[in-house]
Structure 1
Amino acid sequence: MSVSLVRRLLVLAAGSLPLIGLAQVEGPKLPAMMKIVVPFSAGASNDAMARAIAPLLSRRLGNTVIVENKPGAAGVIGADYVAKSPADGSVLLLTSSTFLTAAATQIKMPYDPVTAFAPVSIIGDGPMLLAVSAATPAKSIEELIALAKAKPGTLTYGTSGTGSIAHLASEMLADAGQFKMTHVPYKGAANALMDMAGGQINMMISNYTSVVSQIKSGKVRALAVTSAQANPAFPDLPPISSAVPGFAANIWVAILAPAATPPALVARLNQELSEIAKAPEVRALLEPDGATSMSLSPAEVSQRVKSDLALWKKIAVEKKIVAE
């Protein structure tokens, strides 16, 4: 067989390769080893999400993807580590809306949350629940607001701490509904939930997974969801906006990369993560909280980050909220 014939046969064989194989060869090259940094402790919800995503991303990219926890300072330590990491796709940050509430309420930040990162993907987005102690007489969001207005400042709400998303969302609710409440900060949401179940505080804004056991025990009653519209996961709960028009406070889980990461790498990661967000393993973590998978472009994720940061900063400035 002549050399020229062999060459022609090789070209024909290459043309018959599966398209997915060609896409992997021609796509932007990613490092053989990647890590997803979670700026919170192992075992937390964001950690579980990262550990579900890592093997799926590894299989799709054909490399090794590990998870590394770097907790501290409401997620700032881990985020700062990623901001200063090589911009080659080897280090990604998996974080939540806390990423922005921390930036809105802390006096000094080691990075700019907008310019120090390249937004890649929002994995999921969903509501929180507004819940009250069973000892609180309100049976609806309207009754809760009426109770708060009848006795200004006597209604108490708990949070995981000053400057948390629950704190900012609760102040936004009070401001929009034109009533006053008293904030009771705790060191962690679990302690606040325990006191709400015991009747020591009246209400709390929390994700469903955290409060579900108290709801099922009858010690806590859910009144509404914080999303702008009703959520199919909670068909019996109206949105807060039904009583307070315009109110909305969703939480999300996002993937970010260092700012100088090449756009081609960001686009490739966005494409892969958009598909991963639909995987059963990921949806199983999103759906209990009424969250849905997302398929936003990097530009759309960037816009969401900017608009949410502006919202939380506005509330923090107006209410003089500074994280402890």
Structure 2
Amino acid sequence: MRILLATPAPPGSQRGNRVTAERWAGLLGELGHEVILCDGEALPAQADAQLLIAIHARASHGALMEFRRRFPARPTVLVLAGTDLYLAGKRDELVATSLAEAHRIVLLQQRARAELTEEQSSRAVVIEQSCAGPPRDPQGRAAATLSPRPTADDILLVGHLRPVKDPLLAPAALAELEDDNPLRLVHLGAALDPDLAEKARACAASCPRYTYLGERCRQETLLRMAHCRALVLTSRAEGGANAITEAIACGAPIIATDNAGTRGQLGDDHPGLFPVGDKAALVHLFRRLTADHDYASELRAATTRLAPRVEPARERMAWAQLLESL
């Protein structure tokens, strides 16, 4: 089957939508399908396919509607992002129209069903994201080439500089730690908001334990995850974060804001959840991570328990089942 896969993130981007689209193109190719990636705003002029998969109800609304006009009898699959579910949601006309027009809906974690109507939920399926894990580096040689070199005291923050990611919360919490606390914060993410980018660079200049590296390739991100003490995510909302999936595959303990999407990925009893925007709670968890060995072990064990859910074969099978049902 020829499949058009629409994503708002351009080629070469490290944004989550692009990472997801390229991974799915690979998985669907393994299932024997021909996959053509395209922009979310509009279809290529001569595009012809038996199926459209559109990532992001709002940002890929144009491609979805154009496919429905060109090929009204052919199926469409809509993948809901966090901004569709928790920020734009039912109030956004484009999101509502995309939801109404799609034949099937893909959710990235089970809790997202709560945001759908009963009718929408009847068309929805949950497909949890996967990751094959970090590049093989048994002697740490690849990691040793990174600058700054990863250390056992690194807290890794993966999040683009956008307000929804609340990217300056972790540096602010780090600044509250005692001088003898060994933790340092390494931040990966594109400077998508100029004001936040300026503040991040100013924060890095004034705080030697915070390093903002900007957008880095996925290989470096996974290597740093595999060597960090913990991953921290501070998003105000998530639909199903690739960073969480990648951290699980890399074996990294996870500390993250307790939003609906993240709870849907990690589970209600995850020991690393803290309230959205709560700097004091994050400071407390940073201190526990360094002072409480049992807590650090509990975080790592929680990641280990989740590992089977991020196996690529599981995600590939879920897509095979969905396509067979169309």
Q: Normalised by the shorter chain, which TM-score bucket?
A: 0.3 to 0.5
Q: Which structure is richer in relative contact order (CA contacts within 8 A, separation 6 or more)?
A: 1
Q: Scaled by the length of structure 1, what TM-score is found? A: 0.34
Q: Scaled by the length of structure 2, what TM-score is found? A: 0.34
The structure with the largest alpha-carbon Rg is 1
